[in-house]
Structure 1
């Protein structure tokens, strides 16, 4: 009877929560990285050098870094429904305003403000999932949510490429329409969040009484079990002082450097082989399609085996090899195949990595710790794109920057091994 009840609850959680938060992240990631397609004509219009574009593309994460922890602590206090709605509406408005930048300084400012507006969204959803899904289903739930990033690239790239072939309309260029059109869904979905999201299981009218009781009891039992373990952190300050939070921040730094190198620079790397904007979008989508499948299968294997460490290490190594290959190959086919490896590696590492913090954090500690990991880790999203742009200006090619980002992923793999998998083992899921 318990297994049947558990199955019913997990299915309801899966279908009620995951498709919607995936849609939110799909739009979020699209608004973060569509600047890579805008750059095809925007850089010339605004007079942006590769270094300027890399700086502006990455400066998003400085605003993100400064506001991430406060934003997640507020979410933990007021609930996900209100705060996620606020985040989405404000980032949509700022993203649309990016259409009206007139030079490098306004470009930097709007990218910074976009980071401030969006701060708290990703760690907020990760925290939200940990408040609904039992431990054994958490990596798969996180993988489904984070699969929206490669899906956003797979579906959004051809759309962005098509918008970039629009003629000037109402006095606005193609890149300006790109920012405006792709910002509208964020504002609309932000308003829908107020009606769709449920803050906590005890408020879930869509769960039957026995389902709600089982879920609340299971989550409470897991939380009490973690709190009884040595080294568990439930307070915000204790979480921020926890060395594991800082090490995981550095691990996530490497994966973020890889992810946003792809998001901001992959279209331009592919474009250099002479493809149209539409062709660039189509080719940029291919690696992401493969990555979605790999991500879900890898997370499922991690949940079933209960192992996290090697499920992070191996993908980081694969992604690093792919970046090094992308830097050394001189053919379009080689670049696309290399980007497949990078996409698969970056995507597959994320769900097992994000399943780790909830094994030693809870309550305000989870809100602060997850936000800290994400905010510091996402500085890799500043360093990676900036390194690519600066080194391209210095060397005239992408290779040196790609090698630097590959090195950061090697460091992530080594740090994950140093943490040790025993600390993050969970019981294998029942078959």
Structure 2
């Protein structure tokens, strides 16, 4: 829906703007309650299915002959399939709408995730990890694009942060769940890791079937909004998109070649190196520092860093929205993540190590949703769908780089600490790159004074 001169919120009277602001606020509050919990649930299940191999690492080595190097390669292959199909998937969602496409994504990835129970060797492991990436491609950038269809920019930072709470929740819930399912070993003749893959995969299938009923494509199709709320929110979003079109108008394919979009992708790559460099090996790291075998107890301990990140992320998103301080907040949180990862490499006392891991998790969990407000403030329309897909696809190659880089450095130097230190360099680099976007913003404001500050 486009905004005509007669209803453009930028040129209405003060009374009309106040009324519109009230309707927009009311509509976004309802959208937050209606949409964000379900989107968060989808993210929780997605993240569990892509990272639960961390709990199956030892079992796969024993029962499927998958070595540490093969595990690292397979863990990363998910992100190759994910990256290749991100942009096509997001463009399809832009055409057909979120409800049908999100449901399709969840059902197919749930089926592939369940098939991991049949893993019998490295080749099958590689194939299934690649196919899981293909099946899930488009989910995350699709949600980022979907949020731009519901939340104006000054409300989107908090909305994205609330959605991102799915990441720590996935680890808070998923870690003990996966650990507990491993202890079903032998039930009905299935091994523990088979129960884990089967049940967590089928959960995604079930939620995908429900998604078709719960996700209206746009405010105009939401029966739970009043007519005034639908029109007010659509007009506000249309006016915001018009400003971006006037400043950075481009076709979707040009977004794939745009230097700034590639710069954003590099930033996101550094974040994902930190995220997955820690996530894929956290169960083993916690097991080593506590002397506990990987199971339910280790699962509970692994949940601690994610619990602290859960508490902090919502507050950080609210702060960034109130201050419109997306760049500064992202820079600080990435630096905090780098400090936490570095410290965890050299601390040998379990409590201090856990504190360092908590700092790392707080940093990158809080940084990610705030970061997305920078590129989504630059692009619109099909270019936004394509650009977000490219940023997320290329950025998530960090999930391929991280486990393999950590494994290679650890084996080369014979030290787990060396692998962690190498990964810690990534968020520090990301902080520098985010700070560098200030130069691009100053150029934009010189050429287009209406460009918003980040």
**In 2 relative to 1, CA 303–426 (structure 1 residues): closer, same or farther, beyond 3 Å?**
farther
The worse-fitting range, judged by mean Cα deviation, of 387-396 and 233-242 is: 387-396
Q: Which residue of 1 aligns with 2:292?
A: 275
CA deviation vs aligned residue, 1:287-310 (integer Å, no higher than 9, x gap): 111101211111111111112111
Contact residue 76 and residue 404 of structure 2 kept, 8 A: yes
Structure 1 residue 29, shift from structure 2 partner? 0.5
Q: Distance in 1 between matches of 2:100 and 2:128?
A: 24
In 2, distance between residues paired with 1:43 and 1:198? 44
**Contact kept? 1:233, 1:360, Cα under 8 Å:** no
Larger Rg: 2
Residue 350, structure 1, aligned to residue 334, structure 2: no
Task: Deviation per CA, 1:305-348: give whole Å up to 9, x if none.
Answer: 11211111111111111111111122322321111011000011
**How far 1:360 moved relative to its partner?**
1.3
Which is further off, 51-60 or 92-101? 51-60
Secondary structure, counterpart of 1:228 in structure 2: helix
Q: How many Å apart are 1:426 and its aligned residue?
A: 4.0
Residues 1:408 and 2:426 are matched in the alignment: yes
Distance 1:2 1:201, change over 3 A: closer
Structure 1 position 104 matched with structure 2 position 122:
yes
- In the alignment, is the contact (CA less than 8 A) between 1:325 and 1:338 conserved in 2? yes
* Higher mean displacement: 2-11 or 74-83: 2-11
Q: Could you tell me which residue of structure 2 aligns to residue 239 of structure 1?
A: 255
* Deviation at residue 190 of structure 1 after TM alignment: 0.8
2:151 is paired with a residue whose SS is coil
| Residues 1:255 and 2:240 aligned together | no
Aligned residues: 426
Deviation string for 1:191-232 (max 9, x for gaps)?
Answer: 111111101122112111111110111011111111122xx1
Aligned match of 1:200:
218
2:151 aligned with 1:117, yes or no? no
* Cα RMSD, aligned residues only: 1.6
Q: What SS does structure 2 have at the residue aligned with 1:241?
A: coil
Are the counterparts in 2 of residues 290 and 340 from structure 1 also a CA contact under 8 Å?
yes
TM, length-normalised to structure 2: 0.91
Matches within 5 A, 1:147-296: 147-229=165-247, 232-273=248-289, 274-276=291-293, 277-296=295-314
Matched residue SS, 2:230: helix
Conserved in 2, the CA contact under 8 Å of 1:65 and 1:375? yes
Distance 1:199 1:284, change over 3 A: same
Which is further off, 157-166 or 393-402? Answer: 393-402
Number of the residue aligned with 1:39: 57
Contact 1:316 1:349 in 2 (8 A): yes
Task: Tell me which residue corresponds to 1:362.
Answer: 380
Counterpart secondary structure, 2:59 = helix
State whether structure 2 residue 43 is matched by structure 1 residue 7.
no
How far is 1:427 from its partner? 6.7
Query: In 1, Cα distance between the equivalents of 2:135 and 2:355?
Result: 35
CA distance in 1 between partners of 2:191 and 2:122 (Å): 17
Q: TM-score, normalised by structure 1?
A: 0.95
Of the structure 1 ranges 396-405 and 416-425, higher mean CA displacement relative to structure 2 is found in: 416-425
Q: Which runs of 5+ in 2 are unaligned?
A: 1-18, 445-450
Q: 2:399 aligns with which of 361, 381, 386?
A: 381
Asked whether the 8 Å contact 1:93–1:183 carries over to 2, the reply is: yes
